[in-house]
Amino acid sequence: MLIRDTRPADAAEMADLLNAIIAIGGTTAHQEPKSPDQVRKGYIDGPEVRTSVLAQDGQVIGWQSIDVWQGGFHIGSFVRPGIQARGVGAQMFALTLQRARAAGIPEIIASIRADNVPGLAFYAKMGFVDFAHDPDFALKDGTVVGRIHRKLSLV
């Protein structure tokens, strides 16, 4: 497995992976499929993106990005369905931390659906701690799933 910085040419594969996760549901707050251009601008080289790395093993099997959202540095992590909890996220996070520190990011925030048990476990394992809860966070169909906000200090 290779962990590296993302490039604009990765946008289509990254969009395919994200859209597969969205279609399954349950582990992302995203509910609408994203085009490669939306993924590029939102997670690779758009004006709010600060770091962006991916894992590949013949194909993109995961990616992680930090961007500025709601006044903080927020992380998003996505791993191909069926291979979560096998170390892909942790390996990407090692490079993400290097890039975040180099960019002078003081803390990283993860906003996780409260029903996303694997996501909550991942961020806890990486050292993130709870700092806020949004119990009323709802999906577009009105289903209330809640959201937990965690942060990791880098200073």
* Percent of the chain clearing pLDDT 90 (strictly above): 68
pTM score, whole prediction = 0.89
Summarised one tens digit per residue, pLDDT across range 46-96 is 999 999 999 999 899 999 999 999 899 999 999 987 767 678 999 999 999
Helix or strand run (H / E) with residue 134: strand 129-134
* Average pLDDT of the chain, as a whole number: 91
Question: Which CATH number goes with the domain that contains 68?
Answer: 3.40.630.30
Residue 59 is part of which domain span? 2-153
pLDDT at 100 over 90: yes
What string of DSSP letters covers 53-76? EEEESSSEEEEEEEEEETTEEEEE
pLDDT of residue 141: 84
**Total domains present in the chain:** 1
